Every structure is written in structure tokens, then in C-alpha cells.
A = this chain, B = another copy of it.
């Protein structure tokens, strides 16, 4: 049994934590080699500027939702979201922005002529051949969990999907699976929204400024939509990073989820040691408790 455990740790590229002095996550990150980090690609970063000049940056996940990623870029380029609002904030669930109007149940703004009129449902991708850095942890919703391109991923039967952890971004839809148009996007601002797994297209994740969404007043209407005198938060602009002047771009470094440093950092969290921690950890972790480190470098 001991041998099996050791083998599975080695298979994950980890060393048994008892063999070495404990290194904290901060220490592991500071000692990680330069090539364990990569720069997030401005082509995939959607910059939202909210009222009060608050910046939220979303990284798209083209591997999982290529048609939606392309559409979102088209919408940002056309200025689609400029002047629209964050019109729904439901406690412990999502903040949603776009043109959807709860009263009429319709969008109050047409998509630009450059946009696709129909997008496919991109709920899952084939799990086969996906470069998954698997974790050994149990998950109630998936046979297997791990990381791809920095994103938390679950595998259910033969399909892989982005797990709806805190900060994940998805495309609102009507009842038809292929009814999302990419203009209504929601951000998970509470506990992982796992009941949405495989039910909707997940397009990316917030890498910066999620607190500007999670701390918004909750809407008191149905599903957290604002109603009556409640003021939805205005979106000043939404643009892709590669279309911004260099001095308006933010530069982010992310820890490669295939790197040794990432694996070590997971183990450091799994067997957390500090003067404060007294109980021996269970050795298990939830997929949403494992976060890729993304840091602002400029």
C-alpha cells in the first residue's frame, strides 16, 4: 500500500512530503524557475472597464470553446458591451453582464453584423488526447479532475469540461443548448456552480479584478436581476488586450500547470503546515481549492 501511494505520487511528479523539509507555497513560487511561468496572451484577454474605472480581466479558453472565444473577440472589437451593464448579481451564484432584459426576456441590443448568428453548444470536449495534469482527488461530479492550460477540468465518462469554480465565466443561454450568442456572460461569484457542469458553455475565467463583480449589490429581482430603483453597474468598455494600446495592457504571468513548481505548490497546500494549523490535513483537496497562481507583472 505504501508502495502504491509512493508510486502514484511519483507518477504525478511529486515527492512524498515527509522526505523533505516543508516548503510553503510562497517559497515554492519564489523559487520556481523562470520557465515554469508563462505570459498570458493578450489575444485571449478581455478587459472590462466598469463604472469608476474598475478593471476586470477575463482570460478566454479557446481550447474548450473556440466558437464562443471567436465571437467574444468580434463582439469586443465592435464595442458591443460598451454602455451595457452588469444587470444581474445573484448572491452565492453569478454576476452577469450583457444586453439581456429580464422584463422583456429579450436582448436590448442587436449583435453586430460581423458576429455569428448561431454558435454551437460547446459544453464539453473529448477527454482523449487532452493534456490533463490529473489530481488524485475524489470529486462528486467527475470521474477525474485536473488542469489543462491553467484551467480546472473535470472528466465525465469520455467528455472533459471546464469546472465552474469561483471566477469561471460562461455564456448565458435559453433552453436550447445552442442558444448562447456570447453576448451575455456570467461570472461565478460564490461556491462552485457545479450543477452547471456540462450544461452550458464555459468561455474562460476572471484573472484580475473579480472583487469588482463579487462585491456588487445583489439584485432583488428574479435570479438576482436588478429591478425598480436598483442601479445596474455600467460597462464603460470591453476590449481584447491585443487591441489596446500597450500602456493600457496588464501583463500577467501564470504558473504552468504542467510544471514541477505547480505540482509542488498543490502538495504544499494539500499538507499545509504553519504555526497556525493544528489538525493533520486529510490529504484530499477539492478541484476548486487548487488555484493556478496568476500574478500581475506590470
Give me the interface of A with B, judged by CB distance under 8 Å. 89, 91-92, 121, 123, 137-142, 156, 165-167, 175, 177, 190-192, 194-195, 197-199, 210-211, 214-218, 269, 272, 275-279, 281-282, 284-286, 288-289
Contact = CB atoms under 8 A, between A and B. Distances in A.
Query: Which of A91, A218, A272, A275 has the largest count of B CB atoms less than 10 A from its CB?
Result: A91
A186 to B, nearest CB: 14
Nearest to A138: B138
Contacts of A198: 279
Contacts of A281: 195
Contacts of A269: 195
Query: Which of A165, A272, A284, A285 has the largest count of B CB atoms less than 10 A from its CB?
Result: A284
Contacts of A194: 285-286, 289
A190 B166 contact: yes
Nearest to A219: B211
B123 A279 contact: yes
18 contacts: A91-B214, A92-B166, A123-B278, A123-B279, A140-B284, A140-B286, A166-B190, A166-B191, A175-B276, A190-B190, A190-B191, A191-B289, A194-B286, A195-B289, A197-B282, A199-B279, A214-B214, A215-B217
